[in-house]
Amino acid sequence: MDANKKEDTYEEVVCRECGKKYGQITESHLRSDNCTGRFEFPKEYEEYHDAPLASQAAKEKMSNG
Ligand SMILES: [Zn+2]
């Protein structure tokens, strides 16, 4: 890992594939040209990296409907 290692925050999670920050890592992101294309489904990404797909803020929004 380099000195620019990014970390998850309350509002954003770092995509372990491309290193960019997102509120939520979606299927369309994983399949987009912005990412590596290694995973098609968020579930695969989640299981491989053992990393969260959504920030805490995004989860709270979802649970609040
Ligand atoms: Zn990505």
pLDDT tens digits for range 5-64: 689 999 999 999 999 999 999 999 999 999 999 999 999 999 999 999 999 999 999 888
CB 17 within 8 A of CB 30: yes
- The ranges assigned to domains in the chain are 13-63
For residue 25, count other CB atoms closer than 10 A to its CB.
28
Task: Give the Å distance between the CA of 3 and the centre of ligand 1.
Answer: 19
Residues near ion ligand 1 (CB < 5 Å) are: 15, 17-18, 35
Q: Between 2 and 16, whose confidence is greater?
A: 16
55, 24 contact by CB (below 8 A): yes
Q: What is the pLDDT of residue 62?
A: 86
The H or E element containing residue 63 is helix 56-63
CA distance 59 to 22: 13
**C-alpha of residue 18 to centroid of ligand 1, in Å:** 4
Q: Do 55 and 10 touch, CB atoms closer than 8 A?
A: yes
For ligand 1, the distance from its centroid to the CA atom of residue 65, given in whole angstroms, is 25
pLDDT at 64: 81
